A and B are shown apart, each in its own frame.
Chain A
Amino acid sequence: MRVPLSWLLEFTDCALPVEEIARRLTLAGLEVEGIERIGVFSRDVIVGAILGCTAHPRSDQLRIVELDLGAGRRASAVTGAPNIAEGATGARVPVALPGGVLIDPKADGFDLYEVGARPVLGVESSAVLCSEKELGLSEDHSGVLVLDPGAEPGTPVIDHRPPGPDALADIVLEIAILPSQGRCLSIIGVARELAAVARSSFRISLDAEHIPLKADAFDIEIRDPDLCPRYSGYVLEGLSVKPSPLWMQRRLVLAGHKPYNNLVDVTNYILAELGQPMHAFDLDRLPARNIIARRARPGETMYTLDQKLDEGPEGEKDPPRVLDDSVLLITSADEPVAVGGVIGGLESQIHEDTTNILLEAASFDPISIRRTMSLLKVTTESSVRFSRGVDPALTLVALQRAAHLLKEIAGARPAGAIADRYPRPREARRLEVRRESICRTLGMDLPAEEISSALARLGFEIDAGRTDEETIAVGIPGFRSDVEIAADVAEEVIRVIGFDRLPARRLAEPLPRQRRSPSWEIRFGLRDRLVGAGLQDTISYSLTTPAAEKPLLPPWRGDGASPPYVEILNPASRERTSMRRTLLSGLMEAVARNHRHR
């Protein structure tokens, strides 16, 4: 998952350098696999001194520029910037080398591009002279940014032009999220983790509309609450579909999402920010003004929005998806309009002319979602989040946030109320944990106070009335469905306190009764003797075929035409379908292979 630093720091004021942020997150279990530096933050964006500037042989608008990059390095770039001409010799300019990622100055909206060496009208250009826009410093793309004449070639441009708070450039963390970390599939989730381990503040203050709840605001029925525990819907009318503003496109692109239009982008924005997947239906394209969440009937079919109805070059359409009764459908007038929590339907999706929408924010059972993803072979940002568990409390927050954003960027006038169906509200979970149990699991002596404060940093509520020196009573937040037992709590405690504080002990336990392993010893003893006799020890595949072994085994005299084999139902290849009955098959293969080379 891609986490833009500027977005992350909206929710926690952590002042640590990005490498340290990455290190702390990795230690806490959120492995930062890469740090992408964009625009002026890039290490490939350095100061260059112009040594010479000549006209491009094939174009009056272009110039070929020779650059001194310090430490004896040179590069040559082709530029069309109007402020770079013969008189520019000696000027210091920002130079982006291959591998650097810049803001694309020609994109409608926001996009990035990677610098590579390439020919420009026949002349090789191995660098890019950057404007402020490409560096992400401002929107100015009128010409190449000219730096202070004293700027030393080879030094990072950022030292000379640090970005301001409104910069478009950013640093993006690439974090590997594990199956147990559903709560971290959002900027706010990662911010909470960072605040806990870096001891920085954590605040969620989001602009949202205050919208009341009213049961009959929309006709919604949940027939299978096991698969769909909560469904919240909200109608917005009078919208206009157009591209999202730059600031939203930028955040989406940095976070790895593709901008489409303001309506779709808002749902993706909230998915990235809050971790609550949403779906927007074109209200006028729904078969009726009602929603029923129910299991599909066996054999029921539908088209999803990733499919095409047009005929391909050979004249065939995509066949519709075939469902079974394990799939939870969102239906309208009994027709499927979405595969709940996974992917929306084709016909009711947002179109260019959409003006009225039904916004959905719901909760789905993780196991059912995983099963459906596997059945339909579909993976979406929504389904990944639901498969790891999303706090049902987020649906209302998400709708109110969406309403606000759509008011800002799509002309929405939020009116009416949210229709919320939550037949069996999840009860707040509490857990009482003995201090002794935590200390025994970890192997370190921690006072209850330290345990409590570590948990509080992660959003656990400490019930002071039921907590004392030997017992800690915690309220488990809705976004921590993964915490159920004392061992889970111990893990949270050590993650916040830091594994580096864990002592390294060497099993002071009494030695258990020692046993020998005769089979192991005999086999290794045999290997030693054979190796001593000059034979080469080898290891071959356990899987082979009965046909390959037939010439190597004595004639079969038992029941059946051939000896019984342990057969693999789903072999990886036709040569490896059965467990071997003799070591000779592998050895013969090895002999044959070596014979070719000797």
Chain B
Amino acid sequence: MLDEITQLRQRAEKELEAAGSPAALDEWQARYLSRKGEVKLLLKSIGRISDPEAKKAVGREVNLLSRDLEERLEARRAGIREEERARRLEAEKIDISLPSARVARGRLHPVNRVLREICAIFQGMGFQIFESPHVETDEYNFQLLNFPKHHPAREMQDSFFISEDLLLRTHTSPGQIHAMRACAPEPLRALLPGTCYRNEAITPRSEIQFHQIEGLAVGPGVSLADLKGVLTEFVHQFFGPDRKVLMRGSYFPFTEPSVEVDVECILCGGAGCRLCKGSGWLEILGAGSVHPTVLRNGGYDPEEFTGFAFGLGIERIVMLRHAIDDIRHFFSGDLRFLEQFA
């Protein structure tokens, strides 16, 4: 009997050495150490021994064998794991001096980028952002802003109407009335960014949807000179500290006096080119002193308060800055366009 044990031990140990993979080890374990394995079989055959002393001795040997083989199995498993690991480390060696994989890069839409830039400049001068709805009443969009009846801008073909009294705002100016009514009679400096809508043919020069930003300051002594100073500051911060600024007369129903503010052409520096149509100046802002009727409609007494207002078109500014020739790119969602803005 003891001979059988010794033979079994030798055989098992030899096959264990030869087992090279976890699968092979599982197979060896099944063959030798499982319930139907050879060690168990040997254990069963101890029952045939009659001599109790011999039975105890053999039993002890078989248990020893079983324990030994278990230990060797574990060692062998660990060994194989180590070999596996070493092999993988060798195979998957990384050159850490190589550059990393490209990281996906998103960008802000140029309109949102410029909106934020412009807002920051005016916020730096104490202006606060007010937003108002895209859908407005005719009253807020036109009447309260001193647009006379049958003003050309009020014709059906220029506005998107929802009903006789409701339309999509054609400019951010109704926000002036909302802001004033929310603050009167306290002084106010408001910034009114927003999307506007005009019923126009979509061409490289014009769109049905665009972004504007307006500014409004109302106080006991806010003057046209203040407007000139504030807008000059804006131009210097946005276009450069050496850019000349020109203020000239104009007309808007909601301001009086009304002005246009031009900046020295960013392409030719005032010499005259295709961008500025030879004039040397780029038109960027419409502005003026708030009309007394509009102040009154906002809840301010024009005897006590004066104000100024200005507005600019964001797409136009972006087009000037980046020499974009087609306004339709802004709403196209085309990555070939959007990804050009760092």
Contact = CB atoms under 8 A, between A and B. Distances in A.
Contacts of B256: 485, 487-488, 490-491
B208 A539 contact: no
Contacts of B250: 29, 178
Contacts of A534: 103-106
Contacts of B55: none
B137 interface: no
B293 to A, nearest CB: 9
Contacts of A27: 246, 248-249
Contact of A571 (B109, B160, B187): B160
A540 B331 contact: yes
Given A370-B150, A509-B187, A586-B333, 14 more contacts: A28-B249, A29-B250, A442-B225, A499-B247, A506-B226, A506-B229, A539-B330, A540-B331, A540-B333, A541-B209, A543-B197, A570-B160, A591-B333, A597-B336
A324 interface: no
B299 interface: no
A514 B183 CA distance: 11
Interface stretch (A51-59, A113-121, A516-524): A516-524
B126 A440 contact: no
Given A499-B259, A506-B230, A507-B217, A443 B223 contact: yes
Interface in A500-535: 500, 502-517, 519-520, 524, 527-528, 530-535
B109 A512 contact: no
B175 interface: no
A371 B221 CA distance: 40
A536 B129 CA distance: 25
Report the contact-size class of chain A (Cβ under 8 Å from the partner): 35 or more
B292 interface: yes
A469 interface: no
A31 B111 CA distance: 30
Given A374-B150, A512-B219, A534-B104, A499 B249 contact: yes
Interface centre among B108, B130, B186, B220 (most CB of A within 10 A): B108
Contacts, number: 228
A566 interface: yes
Contacts of A311: none
List 7 tightest A-B contacts by C-beta distance, closest first.
Answer: A590-B333, A29-B249, A443-B223, A443-B225, A534-B104, A491-B257, A531-B106
B338 interface: yes
Contacts of A509: 187, 217, 219-222, 226
Given A506-B229, A541-B209, A536 B331 contact: no
A566 B131 contact: no
A464 interface: no
A538 B291 CA distance: 37
A531 B217 CA distance: 34
B54 to A, nearest CB: 77
A515 B107 CA distance: 28
Interface centre among A495, A507, A512, A536 (most CB of B within 10 A): A507
A505 B228 contact: yes
Interface in B185-212: 186-189, 195, 197, 199-202, 208-209
A205 interface: no
Nearest to A529: B106
A593 B201 CA distance: 21
Interface residues of B, number: 81
A443 B306 CA distance: 11
Interface string A424-463: 0000000000000000111110000000000000000000
B106 A532 contact: yes
Contacts of B91: none
A36 B108 CA distance: 45
A568 B209 CA distance: 14
Contacts of B292: 485, 487
A92 B230 CA distance: 57
A181 interface: yes
21 contacts: A27-B248, A440-B223, A442-B224, A444-B225, A494-B249, A502-B228, A503-B225, A507-B189, A509-B187, A516-B128, A520-B129, A534-B104, A537-B107, A538-B338, A539-B330, A567-B162, A568-B160, A568-B162, A570-B161, A572-B200, A590-B334
A30 B260 CA distance: 12
B155 interface: yes
A579 to B, nearest CB: 7
Given A181-B251, A499-B247, A542-B209, A491 B222 contact: no
Contact of A569 (B131, B161, B202, B226): B161
Given A442-B223, A537-B107, A541-B331, A512 B188 contact: yes
A61 interface: no
B135 interface: yes
Interface of A: 26-31, 178-181, 367, 370-371, 374, 440-444, 485, 487-488, 490-491, 494-495, 499-500, 502-517, 519-520, 524, 527-528, 530-543, 566-572, 576, 579, 586-587, 589-591, 593-594, 597-598
B301 interface: no
Contacts of B330: 539
Nearest to A567: B162
Nearest to B164: A569
Nearest to A503: B225
B85 interface: no
Interface in B254-293: 256-259, 289, 291-292
Nearest to A530: B106
A519 B208 CA distance: 25
Given A179-B151, A512-B186, A543 B209 contact: yes
B97 interface: no
Nearest to A486: B292
Given A374-B150, A495-B249, A506-B230, A593 B333 contact: yes
Contacts of A568: 160-162, 168
A391 B339 CA distance: 58
A31 B163 CA distance: 37
Contacts of B335: 536, 594, 597-598
B150 A538 contact: no
Contacts of B221: 440, 508-509
